[in-house]
Amino acid sequence: MGATMQKEMQNKITRLLYELNALDKGPVNLNSLAKELGVSLRTVQRDIRTIQEAEFPLYSPEAGTYAFIEGFSLGRIELSDKEASMLVFMSEIARSLGQKFDTSFSLLKKRLLGVAEESPFFVKFASGEEYPDTPISKKLAEFIRLREKSSVCYRGGKRACYPVRPLKIAWIEGFWYLLALTDDDKLLKFRLEKITSVKGLNSYFKHTAEIEKLLRECTNIWFEKQRDLSVRLEISAESAKYFKVRRYFPLQKIEKELPNGKLEISCHAVREEEIIPTILQWMPNIKVLEPKTLNEQIKRIVQGYTKEI
């Protein structure tokens, strides 16, 4: 290595050391930094880009100014300014050696810096019970895998214990349930936290894909194997766009798109209780067309509520 190149490397490491120390103290203005170091603004900009590419978490609170993200500091990760500058410099060398070296060194940096890569996406789920990772839940999971008939003892049930075919453990509307079939094919749902004991019955059953279909169709826990209640609803023009892209009711189907922008939709429910909460949630942008009994029930609920306020 020539003397000139070696000096350039030493100068760069010295600059990076100074810049990282400045960033660790708070936001830095690049023009001011260039004057302090006696170099051009473009040189400092290249150094900042090198620090960013080394995956130190920087952001720009305003034009020409950079800072570490809130909560990050070299002291917190127990890295000295000198060590940090060498890490940036080695990162640049790793990139020049090819993708394999760059990828390996990138993983090492993430472990050293302790900075998780921020995802641009966020998915919001309803909050609810944590999964009860207990001996009972582990046994149930095993019986489901083996398709072994089981005796489930339940607190608050009509009987102490139920001989069932356990099908799925499902998280629905924030609660964990065991879904199971009785010998006469009745679907039962047990809150996992209320199951007091479970034991295998040394008898086995054939797998059925029916439960997956039911779960895909359901919108809440009020589902059964048969959906005999046919419902027609009118959706306001203001809310129609939502119902065109998302299913809010079981087996929801658009029947008509009216000239005024409204929609007529149909759905099939097990019982009125399955869809009443959703109807109330969308009022006043929804109206029950059929059946009349459901329309009257919604009216009674609303009238009863308005009397209380």
Domain span including residue 197: 135-215
Is residue 127 one of the residues assigned to a domain? no
Question: Could you read off the pLDDT of 171-223 as tens digits, one per residue?
Answer: 988 899 999 999 998 999 999 999 999 999 999 988 777 888 888 888 888 88
Residues 158, 188, single domain; the answer is yes
* Cα–Cα nearest to 166, from 136, 129, 132, 134: 136
Is residue 120 one of the residues assigned to a domain? no
Using an 8 Å Cβ cutoff, are 188 and 164 in contact?
A: yes
Question: What's this model's pTM, rounded to 2 decimal places?
Answer: 0.56
Amino acid identity at 201: L
Q: Looking at per-residue confidence, does 166 or 225 come out higher?
A: 166
30, pLDDT greater than 60: yes
Is residue 241 one of the residues assigned to a domain? yes
Question: Could you read off the pLDDT of 247-305 as tens digits, one per residue?
Answer: 999 999 999 999 999 999 999 998 898 999 999 999 999 999 999 999 999 999 999 88
Which CATH number is 175's domain given? 2.30.30.100
Q: Report the domain count for the chain.
A: 3
Each as own residue / partner, the long-range contacts of residues 88-96 (CB below 8 Å, 24 or more positions apart, any chain) are 88/16, 88/20, 88/50, 88/51, 88/54, 88/56, 89/9, 89/12, 89/13, 89/16, 91/50, 91/53, 91/54, 91/55, 92/50, 92/53, 92/54, 95/53
Residue 55 CB neighbours (<10 A): 18
Measured CA to CA, the distance from residue 69 to residue 58 in angstroms comes to: 6
Residues 141, 210, single domain; the answer is yes
Measured CA to CA, the distance from residue 43 to residue 59 in angstroms comes to: 18
Residues 236, 211, single domain; the answer is no
- How confident is the model over 13-40, as a mean pLDDT? 86
Sheet of 187-191, strand order: 187-191, 175-181, 161-172, 148-154, 195-204
Residues 49, 79, single domain; the answer is yes
Q: Which two tokens stand for residue 39?
A: 């170099």
